[in-house]
Structure 1
Amino acid sequence: MTATITAPDLKDPDLYFDRAPHDLFAQLRTERPVYWNPESDGAGFWALTRYADIVAVSRNPGLFSSAYENGGHRIFNENEVGLTGAGEAAIGIPFISVDPPVHTQYRKFIMPALSPARLAGIEERIHARCLSLIDRIPLGETVDLVPLLSAPLPLLTLCELLDLPTGMWVKLYDWTNAFVGEDDPDFRQSPQAMAAILGEFMAFSQQLYEERRATPGQDLATLLATMEVNGQPVTFQEFVGNLILALVGANETTRNSLSHSVAAFAANPDQWDLVRADPTLLKNGVREMVRYASPVMHMRRTATADTEIGGQAIRKGDKIVLWYIAANRDESVFPDPDRFDIRRGNIQHLGFGTGQHVCVGSRLAEMQLRVAFSLLAERVGRFKMMAAPRRFRSNFINGLKNLDVQMVAA
């Protein structure tokens, strides 16, 4: 018989340090799917763990706000804390923390820049980059796959989108880790170290902003620097906020989905055999990879009026945290949800969100996963995990810092 849960603190980053607590989320879905989580440093929040509830909230931005002025899209209040603090120390507001109709204006600018027509030939270029990375990985030797493949692949793609030199991927990697790693001492070693990182990034951003406004190109950085919202050009602060959003979104989802999927194939060699026998399974199989990994664990909304969710009364101003990592293992939607099944059909996962704020780069992320595993299937017969990976200390990113594996030749 399963023991009844007491009062877990889902905000505590230590809860996710050793493993993703899927068993805890499963109990919450059953016993308290709309769970009140007190905070020692805040008013508390409602934690949603059921797929249907999260979809319903995500598709009603008028009632459930992501706006910065209402607290934004994270557990903490962005208008009080933010990346570097509120007030003069704060960066600009990224469009993920803006509600419709203004949010919709941002998306109308950005989504065409990531369309297949605008990115003609990008799959071939991703294929070439990925092949070059894989060619350098020795078979049969223990390697850390994160710096060799998982991290550089999406960041090299981002360098293309931003029209930056390929060597910039290493800096982008360090910066994004610092931006999302507020609870991890490896990523934010001290306030002084964070100030130095931010200063370096801001100097880079200022130069990029000025260059793209002076000499516009066809790249994403030009778009972020020159677009107009409500008839007004974006400010430098807004450019910085959206640039950070692009860096994190383009890196963390693909990078950690790739790492978690290698670990899943190592634990489930029968699934890797299926891919090697029929690589066309990857067309839909990449969706199973993202579902299983759930690289972004939560997003947050704030109720703009008194309402109810799943029979629970919600007050105006209450925080609501949407646990994608729980919804992606909801038994009512995904039969046998803890099984990694590359042949699973009709996968409508929430790994990229849903509703108004669904990730604009989701198709590009899936493309990179498909290309990477197609190439790996040609030469790798088995993945062998040589040590348990070190995890991010984070309640936000389901991340792996390293992935020590042997890739056994086919």
Structure 2
Amino acid sequence: MDDDRGAGAAALETQTTRRGLFGLAAGGLLALTGTGAGAASTADEETSGKVVFIYDDSWREDWDQTFPVHQEKDAPACCAAVTEYVDTSWGLLPEHLREMEESGWEIMSHTSAHDVVGNLYLTEPAEPEDDRLAVDGSFLTDHDGEPIVIGTDGGTVENVIAGGGEDDDGFFLDLEEPVGEAFAAEETFVRFTDERIRKEVVGSKEELEEMGVDVDYFVSPFGRSEGLVEELVGEHYAGFANREGDGLNGLANLDPYDLGRTSIDGRSSSRADIETFYDQVAAGDYLGIVVGHSQFEETTEERVRFAIQEARERDLEIVTLREALSAHGVGPDEVLGADDEESTEDANGDDGAESNGDNGDDEGEARTEEETVGSAIRENGPSIAAGTGLLATIGLVGRAAYRRLNGSDGPN
């Protein structure tokens, strides 16, 4: 294994989190969403259910292993690409992305560096003299020297990461300076600066489109979806592919900014779990969204082939997310408006200069009527984080009741 590939793998497989709604996605927990008579096989019944496959992280296995199986089965899928992984010895190449898209696949953004862009939260109160914070995840601990913000919607303070770890009480984050103010547990968030999150969320879309592919949807690393990321996705994307839920997205009232996923990875879901999930999709007229990680040893070509075949046996239509949402009137044209890019250019001025990255007022004033409709759709959804992939092994639980829940997750 190349050194850069090994470093990427190590960074992905050491993250742990403790907050919120993390996906009723696997490990037998799929059955909690409606097994029994309502989940009986519908292979012989007509259904309007649809299934979207998303493969996260843009590792080379997407091209070498997973893409050929989908081509063999004439089944489209989506690739959620991390731009810093693209064009490495172990990641997809730009030409792979373009050929995937030409073959009917859809390319999504999964940030620039696969760093957490959603909020972490304090699990214990902080006093002004504290230079260590108790937090609900380890995602920031290996970013020594990086600036962060700490606070609430009412105001934030800046600081710099000085390490972190885990002890008997949970995860902690060390700061270069005392926090300087008192902050309450649970309502206080910790995250990267606005500039850094904007680079990860908006910059990754721009980078992918410069590679020659279209990008309409965003996938958040580790399922963290609260905070500035929500605003940026709403402004720059037609939907949030893993914001909340268990993968069962009702076709009757699809909200492109409140979609959930469930895992087909071998380390997260059994074959019976996948079958049960598809039964539910077929029985309830859902858009079922599933996620896989081709680089996982357990997510084999055989596993991918099985997941496609089981969907087909239930007469579920396999489509891209763009196709599914467009067919139900909430695709990119309906949500963002067909002239969204032109509107953004007009808002930035004749010379194409970008608006201030730290202030969304200019962009908000430039929104088209269609964008306003999209915003109204988003505001109807709860602010809930959702995880997929290995996060699925801990199941879906209520955010308010389980903020202190411990679990482990892998790449998302």
Normalising by the residue count of structure 1, what TM-score does the alignment of the two structures yield?
Answer: 0.23
By percentage of residues, which structure has more strand? 2
Give the structure-2-normalised TM-score.
0.23
Name whichever structure is richer in helix by fraction: 1
